[in-house]
Amino acid sequence: MLITSLEYRIALENITQAMTQMQPDDRCCVLCGDNDHQAWECRTNVLRAALNEKILKKKVARYESALQRIRDLDYSRAAVNMSAVIAVEIAGKALDDKN
């Protein structure tokens, strides 16, 4: 997705504005005007959004890795179970051959 120079200017303005509210104060959010949070918490803060995406990507990667380990474990169990079935069948045929 191509980002326009206008979008870059808006993002830079957003970050510059957010930098004016670096710690709690008695003002509303300088970015959106809401009174229940400050700029560093704001959903419109582009830097916060980028950091949240980075955190989310790490969590997704950990989830996918854990999911793959579970799949591998399931495949291993399936292979062991299949081996057991084959062994029982071979043993059964050997017994049938003796009788």
Q: What is the pLDDT of residues 40-96, one digit of tens each?
A: 999 999 999 999 999 999 998 988 888 888 777 777 676 666 776 676 676 666 666
Residue 99, pLDDT > 60, answer no
Q: What is the mean pLDDT of residues 19-44?
A: 91
Instruction: Answer with the residue of higher pLDDT: 79 or 18.
Output: 18
Model pLDDT, residue 92: 66
Burial 38-73 (b: 16+ CB within 10 A, else e): bbbebeebbebeeeeeeeeeeeeeeeeeeeeeeeee
More confident residue, 84 or 13: 13
